[in-house]
Structure 1
Amino acid sequence: MGGLGFRDLKDFNLALLAKQLWRLIQYPSSLLARVLRGRYYRQSDPLEDRKIYSPSYGWRSMMAAKPYLQMGIRKTIGSGLNTRAWSEPWIPDERARPPRAAPQIGFQEPGMHMGSDKQCPRCGNPEESINHLLFLCPPGLQVWALSDFPSLPGLFPSTSIYQNMSFLFWNTKELCMIDPQKDFYPWILWYIWKARNDKIFDGKETSPVDTLIHAKIEAESWKTANEPKDVEEAALSPSPSPSLRTSPLDDQRFPTCQVDASWIGNSLVSGLGWSLKEEESGEVFGLQGCRRSLSALHAELESLLWAMSCLIDRGVLYVHFQSDCLDLISMTESPSDWPSFLSELEVFQNLRGNFGIFTLSHIPRILNTRADTLAKGARAKGIIFFQIIHNEPMTGSFSNQPLNWPIVM
């Protein structure tokens, strides 16, 4: 001031106030910082804009210096826990600043269009969404209709992509679709997408039949390429394991027992079923409703164990067992590969030692409809029970009357 070396008292005062505010930030554990924090910024920091009721003169004075402190302050990221990335100045530019959004980049909805035209190129629908492309567009809808997946009104295909994917992931198991069928959908989805791109970029129309054929060929090629070598060697081997055969014996003098289970995750009861057939004597079959097993594979194993136990009690010790569950056969061949089934497999080995001849082979689901129907019927009852029935008079140790043993809970 006036060349005498005196400072501008207003600027000097604001600088001292800004320094005091800076000390509140640098030393949050000081006595003054703790007192002011309890009164003015309990859940925030001194630089945050807050509406304060009846502030003191000292606090109002420090807030007057806040703009000057913010002009030169920069947030150090550290762990980033207390950093507001979009509002606080942490980028060391000429003047510290928060990040800026690029004006020409906006949020893109989960569609397939980079331009403004959102019309479906295949059917002309005003808006093409992912669900419309894969499930509801007429060419895609025809692909699903031609496939092995059932069309269920209101369930599949639906207007919700989450419901459609849930159906493909989980509901196909409840419909008893075999593995090659229910695991086929990724290639269908992929080739529907490719057919759409061929239409846009090459002007090529791909029929639903061709789309499905290409998907099936690609799925089979992938399955063949990823088949384990040991499985291929086992398939080429002429001599199966003598202890547990995976194909029926040539000698058909012994009866065949088919087993199956029915399991649904939201049901309280699992269903077990088995059917023993002899060419001359007829059929004996059993069905049981039991408490829901831990998984579908647990239920399959329980069905086999129950069938083995029933036949041992009746003196039938030379049996060919059949199941449509490949994992069940793999489990009984290599118990060490299934540690979570250790206790059940010990029971299996004990029961298996009582048989004179025991074989377990795989059959397609379409050939196991009898046991499958029994298991589903037992589960549908929704109660705990078991029943063994003689369809026709049996020779030997079997009686001619139905055996019904309800379980007392």
Structure 2
Amino acid sequence: MLWRVVSQAIPTCSRLITRGMRIESHCPRCPTAEETINHVLFQCPFAKMVWQLSNTPILQTHRFDDDTEDNVSHIINSYQNKNLTLSQKLVPIWLLWRIWKARNKLVFNKFLESPSKIVLQVEAEIQEYINSLNNSQTSTNIPPNHRFVADKWVRPPPTVFKCNFDAGFDVETHKATGGWIIRDNHGNPKAWGSSKLTHVSSPLEAEAKALLVAMQQVWIRGLKDLQFEGDSEILINAVNGRTIHSDLINLIQDIDYWSSKFSSIQFMFIRRSGNSVAHNLAKFSCFHGDFFSRSVDQPLWLKRLVCKDSFIT
């Protein structure tokens, strides 16, 4: 993204006009201003609001001006600042991409995105990226003989059922789906399904709503002792009370409510490689209609996935 900004490769109205297109040059948000690259990313009132809400440390020593190269240079220099955390270094770069995405949603889909939601989305995505990075580094540094990583499906204790869940989220359309599969102590599928999720604004929110649907599907089947397992470590930490995310407060309350309906319940994190069945159910199953659920007659593709998803005794 930074390279495209510096090389003037962002297709704003002013840039497209220089390439021969006959279009208006004004910004779609503020008609009195020309839509330059610098305006969209730094000077537009919408962009300014996003930057202010992000509370990024670079704004303490710099105010974005009319010089695009100077603004980008400051972002690059801040990345070299050893006093900043990795998250603080990544925020400005991530915000540029999200601000540009929000502009495209407005131009092509007439969708007005909230500046506060953009900031929350950036924070969640960066945290998920850092967690993934840390998991990868930990996995690399630990000798194989001493490594215990939940990267395969592990059978629950006797009398306990395990429900794996996952979500799919399209960042362009904000369409989301959830998938789940319930298995017993022997790894035998008891029920599985998928559902379209409504009013979702981020991948993290999609994961939380997929968990809620999974919990409801388990409850209506009368199962009381459960392990819920997903591959979003951020969500699992939030549900277990290790972290707090302001954009998940209402959903966490809903999850707590449904948790009270079970005799025993655990929320566990597993890597994507061990959550492949739920991942594929979320991604591919809900083609027709808004909801799909079965407990008998596994399709061949599901049988193959379950067989590949070997478990540790």
TM-score, normalized by length of structure 1?
0.35
- Which structure is higher in helix share? 2
TM-score of the two chains, using structure 2 as the length reference: 0.45
Q: Which has the higher contact order (CA 8 A, sep 6+)?
A: 2
